[in-house]
Amino acid sequence: MIHGRVNSTIVAVLLGLVTPSFAGFTGFDQFGSGVSSGAAWGDYDADGDLDLAISNLNEQNRLYRNDGAEVFLGLNAAGKGFGGLAWGDFDNDGDLDVAASQNERRTILFRNDGGDIFAEVDTFGEAFRTLSLAWGDYDNDGDLDLALGNGGPNILVENLGDGTFAELSNFSGWGTYSVAWADYDDDGDLDLAVANGNSQPSKLFKNDGSGNFIELDRFGSGNSRGLAWGDYDNDGDLDLAVINYGEQNRLYRNVGGDIFTELLRFGTGVGFDLAWGDYDNDGDLDLAVSSLTSGNKIYVNHGTDFIPPGVIPVGGDAETYALAWGDYDNDGDLDLAVANRGQNKLCRNDEDDGDYIKVRLEGLGPPGYSNKDGIGAKVKIYDAGTTNLRGFREVSAGSGYCSMNSLEAEFGVPAGDTFDVEVTWPVSGGVCLVEDVIPPAVLNVREDCAVTGIDESMEGHESARLVLRLKQNQPNPFRSVTIIPCEIKRCPSTAVGSMSLDVYSITGRHVANLLRSKCQVGVYETHWDGTDRAGNKLPSGVYFCVLRIGELQERRRLELIR
């Protein structure tokens, strides 16, 4: 449920009573000359630096290959139309493919065949006027599915894992400008937020874990253009920012239990896109907001409020449709790509405050493991040896309006401190822990918890530690008894005397405790007969099993059939 009242104090700040200087960006390059509607960062050639894809209205889309030393080579890319782009390795072959929406044309999927060659392999959504698209593994089968936000009925394109796709209508709506996946309720599967215009309310769809989406709530002004998930308050769950056309934008805080409160309204004008990123490396997410009429702004997060420091230098009176964050020069701070009517802009971030930890993920692919890009994985950073959360990112591919930030999880952290990095994988249920990381550091974490290609500052860290893994119960669904396997590889210092396995109803009610003891390394197989703590038979339905070790936890969905 999304509700609440605007924080008038913060709105006063946003309206301009406080306007500090802002000089962290320099205009590095201008490129393109048409009408660009989308921007997406991705390392398509796997050379270690981010490349940039731009979608255009009246000319071919463009792919800018980053050859290092601040050199980008412009390559023609097939497709054109007022739409978006999203990178994702749909075939799990280790390189990024790209989907391109084209508004009045069909969405095209291009397979990366290496050597700057992309082959058109499929098209989706004929005559549905697709604008926004986003990759996500909604059914946790290890391959990426694609959500399409359309002028007509919205479409979920299911990846069948054999190179073919099925178009489903799993979530309703029309007049949609933006779609964005996120596991907002932390139940282990991706939910979907949809921003609608044409006087249609925006919607939040809850994934029930069985392939169905429940329309949980309606929100917004009926004139929304883009939305983006991010944990702005570092409390470990995802909040939602929404940009509106001709009306104030809104920030909704996730307070748990499917409840969002409207924290504040900010900005006015005609906007399309917004994107979360910690541009100043101070440890919390800031918000870039586009405008067609009044200049783009960075809303700076100081922990308790947002302050608009001024306008990003986008060049004259450019009308901006898309924004995307990515560290293209690998200097540890986020740069901003801006897609305009007219020349586009690449804004290089020259802030030198704070330090950074960058995490790149590699899933092991199906069966039983997550997609190669680690999309849907959760990355958290703690002060070393504590449970003090410093930052949380969920890896995503597509948000805002027709845009995509990089797949790297970037964290700004204080210089001189030491941190633990925790990665929770969506399909295998594994939790990897890299301890005592000294920034600046770049970690490449694989789903088996191997760490490769790490910084010199991380010398000696040969692998992360797999702390726990909760595997899927068998059989599932079940009628009488099911077996729940789990593995404890290590007991963290914060988990002394604490290990539990519990079952909850879909409403969050605790119904059974299956294991509670001092943390001990080992492999466990626990049986559950579908009864509650008093031995009463529970009705058919969806339940969740949660394995906890101290502050670490992993959960799985169980289905009981009577």
pLDDT in tens, 221-264: 778 999 999 999 999 999 999 999 888 899 999 998 888 999 88
Q: What is the pTM of this model?
A: 0.83
Q: What percent of the chain has pLDDT over 70?
A: 84
| 379 contacts 438 by C-beta, under 8 angstroms | no
Please tell me what DSSP assigns to residue 12: H
Is 218 exposed, middle or buried, given 0-12, 13-18 or 19+ CB atoms closer than 10 A? middle
Residue 497 has pLDDT above 60, yes or no: no
Alpha carbon distance 432, 424 (integer Å): 7
What is the pLDDT averaged over residues 296-303?
A: 85
Residue 62 has pLDDT above 60, yes or no: yes
User: What pLDDT, on the 0 to 100 scale, is given for residue 498?
Assistant: 77
Cα distances from 365 to residues 9, 163, 373, in angstroms, run 48, 14, 9
The b/e string for 257-290 (b: 16+ C-beta within 10 A; e otherwise) is: ebebbbbbbbbbbbbbbbbbbbbbbbbbbbbbbb
Residue 454 has pLDDT above 70, yes or no: no
CATH fold group of domain 468-560 = Immunoglobulin-like (2.60.40)
Q: 212: which 2 tokens?
A: 């169905």
User: What pLDDT, on the 0 to 100 scale, is given for residue 297?
Assistant: 86
Residue 151 has pLDDT above 50, yes or no: yes
Residue 83 has pLDDT above 90, yes or no: no
Residue of 198, 141, 156, 146 lying closest to 175 (CA atoms) = 198
Using pLDDT thresholds of 50, 70 and 90, give the confidence band for residue 1. Answer: low
Q: Kindly report which listed range (136-150, 388-402, 459-473, 478-492) carries the lowest average pLDDT score.
A: 459-473
| Identical topology for domains 25-349 and 355-452 | no
CATH number for the segment(s) 25-349: 2.130.10.130
Residue 462 has pLDDT above 50, yes or no: no
The domain segmentation of the chain, as residue ranges, is 25-349, 355-452, 468-560
Using pLDDT thresholds of 50, 70 and 90, give the confidence band for residue 18. Answer: very low
Give the SS3 label for residue 494: helix
Q: What is the mean pLDDT of the chain?
A: 84
- Please provide residue 174's backbone torsions phi and psi, each rounded to the nearest 5 degrees: -160, 170
Alpha carbon distance 197, 399 (integer Å): 16
User: What pLDDT, on the 0 to 100 scale, is given for residue 15?
Assistant: 23
Alpha carbon distance 531, 512 (integer Å): 7
What is the domain class of 355-452 according to CATH? mainly beta
User: What strands, in cross-sheet order, belong to the sheet with 499-505?
Assistant: 510-517, 499-505, 541-549, 552-560
Alpha carbon distance 219, 393 (integer Å): 24
- Determine how β-strand 355-362 pairs with β-strand 441-446: parallel
